[in-house]
Structures are given as C-alpha cells and as structure tokens.
C-alpha cells in the first residue's frame, strides 16, 4: 500500500501507479464474500452502535473483486469516481441508507445512487461506527496523527476489547499552547472551507487530549471524566458547545471543532493499507485506492476582517 497524500484542497493525490495491489505468489481476485470476511476481521460489525446501519448495501457475494475504493461519503460524485476507475467495491464510512426507506426509485439522489451501483456492478459496503470503535479506527488514526501517547477509549465498546470504543484520550509527549496545538490539528487535516474553530485561551498549556472523529458532542461527560485539557471533534453545535464552556473547570476542556469530513478522511489511507495487508496475506490480488473526491459540503467561508 503506497502512501496517499492530500493537496491543499483536501483531495488525495495519486500517481498513475499509486493504487495498491497484493502480489503474494499466485495471488488471485477474491469474491466479494471473501472480501467481506477480511473486512469483518478488521472492523467487526459487532462493534457498531445499536442505532447504526453497517455492512453490505449492494452487491452479490459471489462476484469477483479486483479493485476497491475507500471514501468517506457515498455521494453520487464518489460513486461515479469509483465506477469510472472500475471498482467492483466501494467502501464508505458513512451509510447511504441510515434511515428506513420505502422506495429506491431513481427520482431521488439516494435512489439514483442505488441504481448506479447496481447497474454498474459496483458493490457498496458501509464501515461506520464499527470503523470508529475498532483498533486502528477513525479516532485511533486521529490520535496517532496528533502524536498522542498512552491512548485509551473515551467510552469502551460493549462488545469489544478494552482498547476498543468510541473516541480516544491520550497525552502529548510535551505540553504546548492551545494555539500551537490547534495549528498542529490544522496541519494534519485535509484543507476544507470551514477550517478549524477553537474555544479557549490561546496561550493556555495543554497536554491531555481527547479526540472523536466525526460528530462527538454527545461525549462531553466522558471527556470531562477523562480530565482532558482539550477536546478535538467535529460538528460542535451551539448549545452543547456553549454548555460545555459554562461547565468548564478553569476553562477546560478547551474545544477544537473541525470538519466532519476532514476528521474522518484521515482514516481512509490507513484503512486501505490495513485491508490490503490482510488480503495480501490471504494470497489475494486486489488494487485498493482512496477516493480523490472532497465530499465536505462547504465551498467557502466568510470571516471578520
């Protein structure tokens, strides 16, 4: 698995040969069913939250898979990218159908997505909160990118190992100012219109860091219990953020609010590499690539001054 870099627009840059393939001996292409077993080994469905909808959305288990694409969102643009590349499987973090539906007619965006997937022979697989919770999941990758040590879950998974669960908390090797830490966060994420928002004393020292890739404002109790100096997450709404500031002890935890898409995109290259390693060990030959589509919904932002 060759590394995938991000450009200033937050999109992945690939050389013509940057796709990854397993090349072990007499490798062959697995069926979709065999590939699902490899995914289950890495991100067990039992780790998904009870409200979540993960697993296979479209696709025939007997179909061979030679190309897999990873993406954050199963948008029409992402699906077209996967189809044009020739992927037989698209693995996305976010579900296409999280809520119940009574129709997948091609009169809606989701209906058109389902039709395009089936008509093109492209399977869709969702790895959502099971990908958040698992070892090496979304928040683990975010914590590692920030240089955190002695990392533990913010909330332990009900059906997993002690080191599995939603969110992570750990320590920086050395304390730094909130301003410098926020700059570190900004530097590791793909660049998107919303940037990074920070609440707290810019010169205040921080060392213990809590993170949750994606929307994490439901975890403030766990963040406070972890004694974190700062909490990095996405989609912080006005009232939960305001209440967290009111309840803060000596101003802590400070808050760093990032793009939902950007916080979860970091996981894609790591996930692609992990799946590539498993398939290679099993003797399968599969090309794996990360989508170059920036599916953050915002295009530009206006700020004072």
Q: Domain residue spans in the chain? A: 5-131+264-290, 135-258
DSSP helix, strand, coil percent of the chain (3-state; round to 5): 30, 25, 45
Residue 81 and residue 32: Cα distance in Å, rounded? 20
| Torsion angles phi and psi, residue 302, rounded to 5 | -110, 135
For the chain, give the mean pLDDT.
91
Residue 297, CB half-sphere, CA atoms under 13 Å: how many? 5
Per-residue confidence (pLDDT) for residue 303, from 0 to 100: 87
Per-residue confidence (pLDDT) for residue 272, from 0 to 100: 98
Q: Return the CATH number of the domain spanning residue range 5-131+264-290.
A: 3.40.1390.30
Residue 237 and residue 218: Cα distance in Å, rounded? 10
Per-residue confidence (pLDDT) for residue 248, from 0 to 100: 87
Per-residue confidence (pLDDT) for residue 53, from 0 to 100: 95
DSSP code per residue over 182-210:
HHHHHHHSPP-TT--EEES-TT-EEEEEE
Q: How far is CA 200 from CA 58, 214, 241, in A?
A: 45, 21, 12
pLDDT-based confidence at residue 24 (cuts at 50, 70, 90): very low
Residue 33, classified by CB atoms within 10 Å of its CB into exposed (0-12), middle (13-18) or buried (19+), is: middle
Closest CA to 149 of 162, 132, 131, 168: 168
Structure token digits, residue 61: 């288990």
Q: How far is CA 248 from CA 114, 245, 286, in A?
A: 45, 5, 49
Per-residue confidence (pLDDT) for residue 251, from 0 to 100: 87
Per-residue confidence (pLDDT) for residue 16, from 0 to 100: 32
Asked if the domains 5-131+264-290 and 135-258 are classified in one and the same CATH topology, the answer is yes
Per-residue confidence (pLDDT) for residue 51, from 0 to 100: 95
Please give the angle made by the CA atoms of 294, 153 and 50, to the nearest 5 degrees.
75
Per-residue confidence (pLDDT) for residue 99, from 0 to 100: 87
> Where is average pLDDT lowest: 1-5, 236-240, 265-269?
1-5
DSSP code per residue over 143-186:
HHHTT-EEEEEEEE-TTS-TT-EEEEEEEEEEEEEHHHHHHHHH
Whether 9 has a pLDDT exceeding 90, the answer reads no
Confirm or reject CATH 3.40.1390.30 for domain 135-258, answering yes or no.
Answer: yes
What is the reported pTM?
A: 0.89
> Where is average pLDDT lowest: 18-22, 117-121, 146-150, 285-289?
18-22
Residue 188 and residue 178: Cα distance in Å, rounded? 16
Residue 194 and residue 262: Cα distance in Å, rounded? 10
**What is the mean predicted confidence (pLDDT) over 60-72?**
98
- Give the chain's largest Cα–Cα span: 62
Per the CB < 8 A criterion, the answer to whether 134 and 164 are in contact is yes
Per the CB < 8 A criterion, the answer to whether 105 and 72 are in contact is no
């Amino acid at each position: 698995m060759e590394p995938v870099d991000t450009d200033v627009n937050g999109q992945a840059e690939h050389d013509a040969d940057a796709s990854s393939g397993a090349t072990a001996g007499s490798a062959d292409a697995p069926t979709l069913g065999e590939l699902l077993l490899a995914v289950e080994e890495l991100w067990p469905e039992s780790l998904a939250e009870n409200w979540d909808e993960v697993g296979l959305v479209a696709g025939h288990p007997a179909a061979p898979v030679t190309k897999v694409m990873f993406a954050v969102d199963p948008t029409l643009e992402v699906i077209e990218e996967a189809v044009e590349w020739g992927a037989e499987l698209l693995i996305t973090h976010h579900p296409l159908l999280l809520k119940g539906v009574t129709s997948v007619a091609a009169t809606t965006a989701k209906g058109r997505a389902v039709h395009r997937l089936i008509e093109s022979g492209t399977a869709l697989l969702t790895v959502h909160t099971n990908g958040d919770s698992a070892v090496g999941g979304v928040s683990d990758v975010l914590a590692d990118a920030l240089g955190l040590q002695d990392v533990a879950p913010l909330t332990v998974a009900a059906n997993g190992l002690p080191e599995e669960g939603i969110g992570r908390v750990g320590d920086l090797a050395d304390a730094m100012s909130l301003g410098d830490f926020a700059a570190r966060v900004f530097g590791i994420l793909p660049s998107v219109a919303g940037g990074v928002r920070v609440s707290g004393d810019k010169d205040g020292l921080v060392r213990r860091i809590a993170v949750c890739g994606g929307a994490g404002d439901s975890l403030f109790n766990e963040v406070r219990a972890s004694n974190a100096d700062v909490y990095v997450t996405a989609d912080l709404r006005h009232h939960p953020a305001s209440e967290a500031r009111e309840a803060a002890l000596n101003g802590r935890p400070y808050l760093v609010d990032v793009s939902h898409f950007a916080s979860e995109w970091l996981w894609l290259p790591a996930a692609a590499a992990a799946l590539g390693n498993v398939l290679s060990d099993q003797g399968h030959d599969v090309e794996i690539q990360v989508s170059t589509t920036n599916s953050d919904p915002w295009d530009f932002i206006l700020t004072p001054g």
